[in-house]
């Protein structure tokens, strides 16, 4: 960034528009924060677990389900038989087939065990911190900003330190997505591709991330890279088809069907999902929601391909949260929440350049 932001050469009129829009969005974010009747805004009270926090309610029930599946797999039982039996016994739906998670995480944890599985999850988080530090150093970001950035990423990744949360697929997937972006280089994209593939096999909700990576490669006319991302997407669909067939073999005609996820919660749901997946959940919504807007604005300020990519990625997922997902699906926010607060370090340079644009306009104004 070299001390400049995306607004380094913006006109005074453009600066007024940007600041006005930012102010309007911050104000608009306060509406769902104060309107408790708005769908999607329901804070889930934290539960203490080994001096850290995880969420109660259905997320806790999900953790119990996934843990039971892993225990039975360690005893030698088949994943799909166990998953169907546990979900049926606990009153979980089995239709459509996506209600049964991809088997990847269960196989990893059943093979490694709880201790080594936890070590692997922590290692992924630490690798993401290192990868992003190196990425920022290559971008010649000031040392103090790099340290702050990595600290904010560590805060976003903090759910991985809760050992019980190790069974949540979204936490692993979010850490893998953060690592994949940190590893990405236009001239060396293979490590990022491999890690993205792991995220995709862990949770199918990582597909929008991979599609965006492919779109960026295509737009930049990096043909070999575009072909590689396309091949990964094709492999993923084969994997999902095999998963569909395996689930179909164990589902019974009278098994319950899931309620619709299309609730159209709107911006309130999008903000709430991010809020509840971030350390910002400790703050009231009327403070946290504007901070989410400011974090997104920070990514807009960073004049880089990575900045634009992360901004579009988070906006895309938040759009999806606004359309789909019940309030108790807030943990989907873990898919991209590790990225959000890192945008804070770019807000200062962006506002400085916007202020400089307004000052230049004032200096050019004719004196009376």
- The candidate with the shortest Cα–Cα distance to 350, out of 22, 68, 13, 90, is 22
Per-10-residue mean pLDDT of the chain, 368 residues long, equals 75 94 95 69 41 51 92 95 94 93 96 95 97 93 92 94 91 97 96 97 96 97 97 96 96 90 87 92 92 96 94 96 87 94 94 90 58
Establish if 366 belongs to a structural domain: no
Tell me if 64 is assigned to some domain.
yes
Tell me, yes or no, whether 40 lies in a domain.
Answer: no
Q: Is residue 133 part of a domain?
A: yes
DSSP 8-class letter at 361:
H
| Range(s) of the domain holding residue 347 | 52-256+263-353
99: CB partners within 8 A, 6+ apart: 87, 92, 93, 258
Q: Considering the domain boundaries, does residue 313 fall inside one?
A: yes
Note whether residue 35 is domain-resident.
no
Buried b (16+ CB within 10 A) or exposed e, 222-235: beebbebbeebbee
What is residue 57's predicted lDDT score, i.e. its pLDDT?
A: 58
**H or E element in which residue 282 lies:** none
Residue pair 207/67 in contact by the 8 Å Cβ criterion:
no
pTM of model > 0.85: yes
Quote the number of domains for the chain.
Answer: 1
pLDDT at 47: 37
Query: Is residue 257 classed as helix, strand or coil in its secondary structure?
Result: strand
pLDDT of residue 105: 97
Is 34 within a domain? no
- Asked if the structure places residue 308 within a domain, the reply is yes
């Amino acid at each position: 960034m070299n001390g400049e932001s995306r607004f380094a050469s913006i006109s005074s009129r453009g600066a007024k528009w940007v600041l006005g829009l930012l102010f309007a969005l911050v104000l608009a974010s306060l509406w769902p924060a104060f309107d408790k009747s708005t769908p999607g805004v329901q804070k889930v009270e934290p539960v203490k677990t080994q001096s850290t926090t995880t969420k109660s309610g259905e997320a806790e029930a999900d953790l119990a389900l996934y843990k039971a599946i892993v225990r039975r797999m360690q005893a030698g039982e088949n994943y799909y038989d166990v998953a169907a039996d546990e979900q049926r016994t606990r009153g979980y739906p089995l239709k459509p087939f996506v209600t049964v998670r991809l088997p990847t995480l269960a196989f990893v944890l059943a093979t490694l065990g709880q201790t080594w599985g936890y070590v692997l999850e922590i290692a992924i988080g630490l690798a993401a911190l290192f990868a992003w530090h190196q990425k920022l150093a290559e971008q010649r970001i000031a040392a103090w900003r790099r340290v702050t950035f990595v600290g904010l990423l560590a805060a976003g990744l903090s759910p991985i330190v809760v050992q019980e949360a190790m069974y949540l697929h979204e936490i692993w997937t979010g850490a893998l997505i953060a690592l994949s972006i940190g590893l990405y280089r236009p001239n060396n994209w293979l490590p990022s591709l491999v890690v993205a593939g792991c995220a995709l096999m862990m949770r199918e909700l990582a597909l929008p991330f991979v599609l965006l990576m492919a779109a960026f490669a295509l737009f930049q006319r990096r043909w070999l890279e575009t072909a590689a991302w396309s091949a990964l997407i094709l492999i993923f669909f084969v994997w999902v088809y095999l998963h569909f067939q395996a689930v179909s073999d164990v589902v019974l005609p009278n098994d319950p069907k899931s309620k619709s996820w299309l609730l159209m919660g709107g911006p309130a749901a999008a903000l709430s999902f991010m809020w509840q997946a971030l350390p910002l959940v400790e703050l009231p919504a009327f403070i946290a929601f504007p901070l989410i807007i400011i974090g997104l604005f920070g990514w807009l300020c960073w004049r880089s391909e990575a900045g634009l990519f992360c901004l579009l990625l988070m906006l895309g997922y938040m759009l999806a949260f606004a359309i789909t997902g019940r309030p108790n699906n807030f943990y989907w926010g873990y898919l991209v929440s590790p990225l959000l607060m890192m945008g804070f370090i770019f807000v200062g340079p962006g506002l400085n350049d916007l202020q400089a644009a307004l000052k230049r306009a004032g200096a050019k104004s004719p004196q009376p």
